[in-house]
Amino acid sequence: SALVKRAVAYLHQNYTRPLARWEIAEVVGVSEDYLTRVFNRELGLSPWDYLNRYRVLQAQNLLKTTSHSIGAIAKQVGFSDGAYFSRVFSKITGLSPQGYRGR
């Protein structure tokens, strides 16, 4: 739907900074709950899960192509907490950021 496309475009443009669900909903002109329902129906993920997967995808690229520290990469892709980044990364990829880089 156009709503999900607008929300996804906003996430892609702003993933490097802290985002709130209300902010995304406001940008596309719907309630937070409606945004979450439509995302789940169309993508099978909540907006937050989609954002985390997108951030991890960007981090994977940086881990492969740069020598930046894992903490620096976490911040570059929008995670303010390195430990939380590592947990999310491991949950999504099955590997730690260090393990992914070392492959």
Rounded to whole angstroms, the Cα distance separating 26 from 1 reads: 17
The model's pTM is 0.94
Domain 2-102: CATH superfamily is Homeodomain-like (1.10.10.60)
pLDDT digit string (tens) for the chain, length 103 residues: 999 999 999 999 999 999 999 999 999 999 999 999 999 999 999 999 999 999 999 999 999 999 999 999 999 999 999 999 999 999 999 999 999 998 8
Tell me the domain boundaries of the chain: 2-102
Q: What are residue 17's phi and psi, to 5 degrees?
A: -120, 165
Element spanning 99, H or E = helix 97-102
If phi > 0 it is left, if psi is from -120 to 50 it is alpha, else beta; for residue 18 that is beta
